[in-house]
Structure 1
Amino acid sequence: MKFTLPLFEIVTNLNDMAESERPKIGYSCYFTRSREGEQFVPEHVFSYQISGRLTMTDDNHHTNIFNEGDFRFIRRNNLVKYIKEPPAGGEFKSVSVYLDQQSLRDFSIREGIEGSSVRSTASVIKLKPNTLFKSYMDSLQPYRQDDVVISDALQQLKVNEAILLLLQADPSLADVLFDFSEPGKIDLEGFMEKNFHFNVQMKRFAYLSGRSLATFKRDFEKVFNTTPGHWLQERRLKEAYYLIREKGRSASDIYLDLGFEDLSHFSFAFKNKYGLTPSKVMTH
């Protein structure tokens, strides 16, 4: 299979692609104002910040800021929030290499490398500056031409090269790269309290808690005595009330952080529950 990789293709959400359809190399580039969002990360990602600034917050509320010239590694099966900011008068640019599970399994067998079951606590890792990393990312420049057809074989070579470079820079990453286990069934109440502020599809919550969607919904009602959708809205509104009333935060500052898609929907739901608009709660 061959395909043309458009110039600076924006690849920010791989959630609904089959593994075989996911690009191995992705670019993000735009001129406009800052963008905010969140996503489920299905594969390990090795990235380089070409220009602009990227702020990422993981599900443990750890925040990393990546500026021009920074390298990062993002572990698979995690939820992250991000803010992409182009520089004044310039472009936000980053390049990412997606280390898919099949490539890593093949590499593991070929090289005889096994990972341990010990999981790193960090979902997003800022990598130390490395001249080999920079040379590697520069070598991807030809892949950004919109008239170049990149074969699977060529892309696979670059993925394998990225794996080798990461292992050379930090051999302990083998325990992360070659851990092929899937999320196990975990305590649902603790998991939801930790992640309720992420606005992702219910199937992602189910998967990360080690359940099928049907089992997730069934277990959820046993634990919370309500549906996931209803509980999520109530929990987010409860947190919003606390932040507005006790911390003096404004609705516009918190609605995205709490998983609401737009301010008007948040304000309507808030007033419907508490009988007051967010601004009225602040003044009481």
Structure 2
Amino acid sequence: MAGTDSDRPMITGGPAVILVEPQLGENIGMVARAMANFGLSELRLVKPRDGWPNERARAAASKADHVIDGVVVYETLAEAVADLNFVFATTARERDGFKQVRGPVEAARTLRTRYDDGEKLGILFGREKFGLFNEEVGLADEIVTFPVNPAFASLNIAQAVLLMSYEWMKSGLASETDTAFRGPDMEPASKVQLHSFFEHLEAALEARGYFRPAAKKPKMVDNLRSVLTRPAFAEAELKVLRGVLSSLDYFSPKQPRGSGYPERKALADRAAHSEEGAAPLSERGREAMAKRGVKHG
């Protein structure tokens, strides 16, 4: 499966997810998959309509077999929560009563704190069609509800489990902005490298008559530099741009890269060589420059 890696340790544990009278095996399987995505592994079922085990659930779990294999079935919700110390009930509807209502971020942090203290925890999810009865919500300690569209608040059960599982995983990160992998570390380009690129670009555009009318050249150059300084290029990125610019500036369809040593390239190399302090040009460079009547001092 895309995104899976059997060489890495599987994260397990966390609060038990409790589904009350789930109807479809496929929904149970998608719940198991959502749990496995975010490190939850204990799934409890209260009177699943189609019985258990259920091969459709296993198929829909997409290799979250450790969750499916660990499923425990209960006859009543009271039995399913009997050994737990603290339970959240999920609901999209306002309920009568005195229970604290929290959003998913705060609920996950509450669960994480209690879990770290060694408590056994659970999160209740109701039936696909109408959720939990009031007396079932009454078996929980607090309520968690999601900030959804009030005119369209119904969530698929797997979506609801996914949201809480995600918040659970996030609550355990050293920083909530952490990611599983990062982009490459790149050395920022120096101003010398950036200015050299500007000068090359300006010279190439000048040679092709880009700056027209001539009176507007200073403003056009200023605009180019403003655009190209905004991203704060890395050194490696400038090398890519310089390679592209060199191909466009020094070579052409009639004389593509690899077919010879264009005169503009020879002149540029000579200028760069002069600035660096008279290191000898390569034999190939001297021959190419000689063919074009360019004297090497």
> Scaled by the length of structure 1, what TM-score is found?
0.20
TM-score, with structure 2 as normaliser: 0.19
Which structure has the larger Rg over C-alpha atoms?
Answer: 2
